[in-house]
Structure 1
Amino acid sequence: MVGIQSGRRTAKVTTMDLTSTSSLEKMMSGDSEKLGRIETQDFEKNVEPVVANMEEIALKALHTDDDPSLNPWTFRMLSLGFGLSGFGSALATIFLFKPQSVSVSVIFLTVISYVAGNAMSFIIPSKGFVGRWFNPHSFNSKEHLAIVIMSSSASGAAYATEVLATQKLYYNIVPNAFVAIMLLLSSQLLGYGMAGVLRKSLVYPTKMLWPSILPLNSLIETLHRDKSEMKKKFNLFWIIFGIVAVWELFPQYVMPVLTGVSVFCLANRNSLVFTNIFGGASGNEGLGVLSMSFDWQYITTSSLFLPLITLTNSFIGFIICMVLFTSLYYGNVWNALQFPFLSQELFSQTSNSTSFAVFNQSLILDANNELNIAALESTGIPFFSASNASYLLTTNLGVTATVMHILLWNRAEVGQAFSLKSLKSFRPRDFWKKSPQSAAPKEVEDTPYLDPHYRQMLVYSEVPAWWYLGILAVSMVVALICIYNLNSTLPWWGFLIASLLSFLSTLFFGAMAGLIGFNVPITSVIQLIGGYLHPGKPVANMYFVLFGSNAQAQALFLISNLKLGQYGKLSPKCTFTVQIFGTVLGAIVNYILMSSITTNQREILLSIQGTNIWSGQVIQSFNSNAIAFGALSKYMFSIGRTYQTIVLALPVGFLIPLPFYFLHKRFPKSGFSYIVTPVICWYLGYLSVGINSSASMYFAIGFFVQFYIRKRYPAWFLKYNYIIAAAINGGTELLVFVTTFAVQGASGKAIPFPPYWGNNFQTGNFDFCARNPALAG
């Protein structure tokens, strides 16, 4: 699945292919030798190359040439960039309150900006004063890429949005709008300085692939390259875009049963066991085992470009996840049977299988929103659902397994960030020079494996170091002012520790994301650290997580966009500037729309299951963890307490990659290098939240593309695979946006489709699985 925040805890995944053991081993060990082994087989009477690793895809699926004369700084770029930034940030905020958290498709923004940019080029006069300033040339690829980067920078719901929504829904605290927006901006921009320090390690090398952006770069090339060369890809894109856009009206509105079809639930509509195992068409309904989904909003297209090794490891984790959750629940581990099968809430000890009692946090907090120990003693310690506790445990395993995995397999890449040569090259005076070509010619000569895409970027001026450092310094000052103004209870030293943790995690998890495209969310670990540093203070914990986790997420986002600019040959200064523009506008829209949704949909957002349209699962999870980790760490996670294994998972995670690494060293041809333990660990909690009926289709499509299409039709794969992914995303998101505002209540009033067998939610779950009556309470 494609990246999310804290709902369906997805990660961006990509890596090399199982067909080439030698290439894989070299890649995972950080060997700088060029990886180019290609397998061949017959295809339509010709010998066609099968791409054996992701580096080959990055070099073969995208052009490496450039035209430096193309100008991105136009009226079209700025007007469309700001307009789509507002649109994208609105859509991202809506998705934050959906039962399945899905990130805004940049592909959709790309298509809309292409149509609008060419329309403006055609309509606006091209001569005279108007033409000189508003339409100086035809709409080009660099204008387009700048628009896409600006709008994508805005198209995320900032973590501060979760903090503000949580305070409003659970604490009845509504801060001043100006201070709230400043909080959003400072938390978003903080990671940019970190990214500036690390970009030479995480962006420039060929090994840092960031494969999730390959479909986007492929689409932009298709739209702007020679039309005779790209005609088939262009036509295919629009045909699929239109078909999917029309199709999505059915699962989205007319026939929601298509979200998840379960043969098992149709056969037995009265069993809650069947609901827990086979249901999955509604939020937090069940595991969705063998369900079939026909809704691309939930299937997503990441499996179309997901490399085989990560897809395989994630599938292993997915299978174990189903067994693990079922065993924990029906084995009554952590008193699981007293609480819902899937939920992100905290539950009272009075909860039971017929009446789920959500923990009333206001009973244990004083007027300053800090823990009242006497009240806690009379109320009792709360519980997680077993699936949510398991997710926290396995995520902690994945976090520390990631660190060890990178140290074992990619020491060179991590060491490069802290090498003396790297630190010297970061001096601000170096960045005042006109271009890296004049600044570091010797360095270029000494790099025999310089990335062909990066080599083309040497004609452009680099971003001065003080731009990054200035953003970092201003953000930190504004953030400190905000946390004291908002009475966050987070001290200044806690803020500095959170920022340091962000930087370190950006290095390790950025290396993982760049190399194999997988990124384990670090939120739960940051919450745990914050809880022990600031015991009894749930609000302080929320702010500690905001700056400890969000800054890292933003740093990784900037780095991926720098790679996007490198693939598209957009100057670094333009990339940096449009990102700042988009981030600022996005924060403002995030706040406005969050305020509207939390007011209009308050009761649904506070309910356990929600609906298939609105859900508070992200906010519920964030708040539950703030109470559990922030106020009750000592009582819930310390040794001897109920959830001690969640903490013990951190040191255990360091050990998990070791057996496979040593076995690989002892038996290098036995395939132990294929085991990517952080991926497996993270997917052990994959089904803990959201709509799960899509998971089976997601993996089935991924394996079909990787095992069959890529190997039997390699030329077709390179030419059309990423365009198809782009078209499906674009058509889906168009309908999601239209239906959300037109009929699903984002504008304040919902217009439900009349009930019938294909729209069953009025009398049960969409897939006809039995609905648990305890959830109504």
Structure 2
Amino acid sequence: MNFSVTSRDDIIDEEDPPENSPVEQVALTVPTGDDPSLPVVTFRMWVLGIISCVVLSCVNQFFWYRSEPLIISSISAQIAVVPLGRLMAAKITRRVFLKGSRFEFTLNPGPFNVKEHVLITIFANSGSGIVNAIHIVTVVKVFYRRNISFFVSLIVVITTQVLGLGWAGIFRRYLVEPAAMWWPSNLVQVSIFRALHEKEERSRRRLTRIQFFIIVFTCSFAYYVFPGYIFKMLTSLSWVCWIFPKSVLAQQLGSGLYGLSLGALGIDWSTISSYLGSPLASPWFATANIAVGFFLVMYVLTPINYWLNVYNAKTFPLFSDELFKKNGSEYNISSIVNSDFKLDLKTYNQEGPLYLSTFFAMSYGVGFATIAAIVVHVLLFHGREIWEQSRYSYKEKKLDIHTKLMNGYKQVPQWWFLVILVVNMGAAIFVCEYYNEQLQLPWWGVLLACTIAFVFILPIGVITAISNQLILLNILSEYIIGYLYPGYPVANICFEVYCGVSMAQAIIFLQDLKLGHYMKIPPRNMFVAQILGVLISVIVHLSTAWWLIETIPDICQSSSSIWTCPTDTVYYDSTVIWGLIGPRRIFGSQGTYRAINWFFLGGAVAPMIVWLAHKRFPEKKWIRLINMPILIGATVKMPPASAVNYTSWILVGFLSGFVVYRTRPELWKRYNYVLSGALDAGLAFMAVLLYLCLGMEGISLDWPGNDLDGCPYAKCPTAKGIKVDGCPVVY
């Protein structure tokens, strides 16, 4: 049987299910036919796929260290390869080599088709994200200024990424085959594939999808020159700060980047989609849950704790990811690290306990609650379906059309994925044991990390597959190893990588498997593309990062105007909090923030209340739309995400998922996902062009419109007598 779908608006009556998918958005977007005769693994697929993977891996890693990180999505490659594929189909010889033998082949099997285009995009997907294991390299080499070899880095990065493929193979029958696991973001790419490959006649009153795509792409490309270069303040229009240029309180309230973002708005697609993904691909129930969760954390929990001065909150900025001493000065982390790369307890006791900004402390509490909520929610709302799917996974009778069509292809044996898991776990144990002086993590840490990842992939996968929101295990993994193995910062981040990153990579692989499922790509071809794509991507990502670290003298330092590494800074802070100092001295019996552990209980209880309300009032369908893991975990990406990212994202998600979807459903069906892809692609191409033409030459515009936020006092403390450069002193 199929899983339940959380949103009433996302299902079609299951009493009399049609041949198509029971998820309405899927039924409206994904084609129900298949042509098994189309060639998939072709010469041009290999050439364009590998080139796409290499280029995206290099460019994305390059942009990742910048003050304004930019991820070039695979949609850019998805668009760019079409003319190249068609050119190759027109110009390359169609001669058949070794004709009549078992090894007969041709470099040009005919027209460029959608299936080889999908496999090229799978390659591109491997390079379109960020290899999070590289944070280990950055933290060790740049922040702690210690040694880690390229070989050790390469083994760690490869094993964490490929472990994800093994996990994905184990859980594909639960998270890919069931129709209700619909992975919303895939519908953007499906819409683009259809627009690029299906012939569509234009009616007199409307544009075809490809015409609409070209118009939006052109507009997005042209517009991004303003927020990307000429008028960067469009990233966060914090008009409250302009009205009150000398008020700390007003700027704390109005700043989009360092405050509560009241009235602030980002008129920039990069601001809107950079951390939460495209709001156009988010189901409305998920957008609504995120909006409520963001409001409660940002506008209720954080202000109350700050203005009641909980944990001396006014001594520090309202929103900051920096680490402080009790007097509000920045904590000197290097002073408490001894020559053995461990905590110097004597110096730490002299320096005093570490303090966090109000929002940073609350974000950890929210993370605790989210982990507990995920487990309880999935057990209560999906436990029976998961159990029955386990019992009947090989006897499934009630299948949607896509699963029926895919069952006609030769499947990937389960033992292939098991071998991947065993080999990579063995390699991880070897590198951690043999190079323990660099990685610090003992062998049992690798096994424990893999065990936690195995337990959480299914519940987190269910949440992601129905809501388009990935909730990571960072905080849980750091908390556990921090208690079991305190004082070892690299061991902490290494454990987090093998636990949280391998799980996140599994979710990415599962999402790609679902894309192949929708587009009817033979599973064995998908397997080859995924494993080769991730190996190529890892090598390019690491090589690019290594080159940048070795050649840019002030990379990831506050003195740099460009290379400030915002996400790596958060990872560094985490190694200090959870690894070097340890949770016992911060959140445990010896810590300042021990009361935050109560968030675990709150997170576990919240889904129970919703479940009991649903059972008590089954006729009130809206109750089931309340998804506590999404609601509670709405702000887990803050920091490095800021409030303006959320306010802008929620506004666009409301207009698309609620207003247009309900008032103009035909318009939404035809153009929504195409719009998302075109905005992504236009921004990406202009961002690269701006950097190549202007950024590499150091050409910039220095005027007030390029002051990103215009709220210099938003980062100021408000406690009496605290002196901070550039801030007024309160008496």
Report the Cα offset of residue 127 of structure 1. Answer: 4.7
Return the alpha-carbon distance in structure 1 between the equivalents of residues 364 and 686 of structure 2.
34
Return the alpha-carbon distance in structure 1 between the equivalents of residues 358 and 725 of structure 2.
16
Note the alpha carbon deviations across 1:544-567, whole angstroms, 9 max, x for none.
101011110111111111101000
Note the alpha carbon deviations across 1:693-717, whole angstroms, 9 max, x for none.
3433322221122232112221221
Residues 664, 698 of structure 1: alpha-carbon distance in 2 compared, 3 angstrom cutoff: same
Query: Residue 159 of structure 2 aligns with which residue?
Result: 186
Report the Cα offset of residue 640 of structure 1. Answer: 5.9
Report if aligned partners of 1:15, 1:306 keep a CA contact under 8 Å in 2: no
Query: Residue 29 of structure 2 aligns with which residue?
Result: 61
* Residue of 733, 753, 757 corresponding to 2:700: 753
Query: Residue 247 of structure 2 aligns with which residue?
Result: 271
- Report 1:171-570 matches (<5 A): 171-228=144-201, 232-280=208-256, 284-300=257-273, 302-323=278-299, 324-350=301-327, 352=328, 356-357=329-330, 359-416=331-388, 418-419=390-391, 422=393, 443=395, 447=397, 449-484=398-433, 485=435, 487=437, 488-570=439-521
Report the Cα offset of residue 95 of structure 1. Answer: 4.5
* 1:133 is the counterpart of 2:112: no
Report the Cα offset of residue 287 of structure 1. Answer: 2.8
Q: Secondary structure at the match of 2:588?
A: coil
Query: Residue 743 of structure 1 aligns with which residue?
Result: 694
Return the alpha-carbon distance in structure 1 between the equivalents of residues 280 and 33 of structure 2.
26
Report the Cα offset of residue 110 of structure 1. Answer: 0.9
- Report 1:567-578 matches (<5 A): 567-578=518-529
Residues 772, 494 of structure 1: alpha-carbon distance in 2 compared, 3 angstrom cutoff: closer
Note the alpha carbon deviations across 1:352-379, whole angstroms, 9 max, x for none.
2xxx31x222322222212232222222
Note the alpha carbon deviations across 1:286-306, whole angstroms, 9 max, x for none.
232221222111112622132
Residues 193, 686 of structure 1: alpha-carbon distance in 2 compared, 3 angstrom cutoff: closer
Query: Residue 720 of structure 2 aligns with which residue?
Result: none
Q: Secondary structure at the match of 2:320?
A: coil
Q: Secondary structure at the match of 2:106?
A: helix
- Please list every run of 5 or more consecutive structure 1 residues that lacks an aligned counterpart in the other structure: 1-13, 27-31, 38-50, 426-442
Return the alpha-carbon distance in structure 2 between the equivalents of residues 510 and 34 of structure 1.
28
Report the Cα offset of residue 184 of structure 1. Answer: 0.8
Report if aligned partners of 2:73, 2:129 keep a CA contact under 8 Å in 1: no
* 1:645 is the counterpart of 2:613: no
Report the Cα offset of residue 327 of structure 1. Answer: 2.7
Greater displacement, 286-295 / 97-106: 97-106
Note the alpha carbon deviations across 1:162-189, whole angstroms, 9 max, x for none.
1110001122124222321121111110
Report the Cα offset of residue 223 of structure 1. Answer: 1.1
Greater displacement, 315-324 / 141-150: 315-324
Q: Secondary structure at the match of 2:471?
A: coil
- Report 1:627-776 matches (<5 A): 627-631=576-580, 632-639=582-589, 641-670=591-620, 671-685=622-636, 687-744=638-695, 749=696, 751-759=698-706, 761=707, 765-767=708-710, 770=713, 772=715, 774=724
Return the alpha-carbon distance in structure 2 between the equivalents of residues 291 and 497 of structure 1.
44
Return the alpha-carbon distance in structure 2 between the equivalents of residues 776 and 621 of structure 1.
24
Greater displacement, 189-198 / 588-597: 588-597
Return the alpha-carbon distance in structure 2 between the equivalents of residues 36 and 342 of structure 1.
50
Report the Cα offset of residue 316 of structure 1. Answer: 0.8
Residues 657, 589 of structure 1: alpha-carbon distance in 2 compared, 3 angstrom cutoff: same
Counting aligned pairs with the same residue, the percent is 27
Q: Which amino acid aligns with 2:605?
A: L
Return the alpha-carbon distance in structure 1 between the equivalents of residues 286 and 52 of structure 2.
33
Return the alpha-carbon distance in structure 2 between the equivalents of residues 258 and 601 of structure 1.
29
Report if aligned partners of 2:165, 2:531 keep a CA contact under 8 Å in 1: no
Q: CA RMSD in A?
A: 2.8
Residues 603, 334 of structure 1: alpha-carbon distance in 2 compared, 3 angstrom cutoff: farther
Report if aligned partners of 1:204, 1:451 keep a CA contact under 8 Å in 2: no
* Residue of 144, 164, 167 corresponding to 2:117: 144
Report if aligned partners of 2:326, 2:355 keep a CA contact under 8 Å in 1: yes
Q: Secondary structure at the match of 2:23?
A: helix
* 1:106 is the counterpart of 2:74: yes
Report the Cα offset of residue 603 of structure 1. Answer: 3.7
Q: Which amino acid aligns with 1:591?
A: L
Note the alpha carbon deviations across 1:657-692, whole angstroms, 9 max, x for none.
111211121122233222211111112555543343
Return the alpha-carbon distance in structure 2 between the equivalents of residues 563 and 505 of structure 1.
19
Note the alpha carbon deviations across 1:178-213, whole angstroms, 9 max, x for none.
321121111110122221111111110101111111
Return the alpha-carbon distance in structure 1 between the equivalents of residues 726 and 538 of structure 2.
35
- Please list every run of 5 or more consecutive structure 2 residues that lacks an aligned counterpart in the other structure: 99-103, 717-723
TM-score w.r.t. length of structure 2: 0.90
Return the alpha-carbon distance in structure 2 between the equivalents of residues 317 and 732 of structure 1.
29
Q: Which amino acid aligns with 1:653?
A: G
Return the alpha-carbon distance in structure 1 between the equivalents of residues 16 and 76 of structure 2.
35
Return the alpha-carbon distance in structure 2 between the equivalents of residues 150 and 767 of structure 1.
41
Q: Which amino acid aligns with 1:238?
A: I
Report if aligned partners of 2:39, 2:109 keep a CA contact under 8 Å in 1: no
Count residues with an aligned counterpart: 701
TM-score w.r.t. length of structure 1: 0.85
Report the Cα offset of residue 67 of structure 1. Answer: 0.4
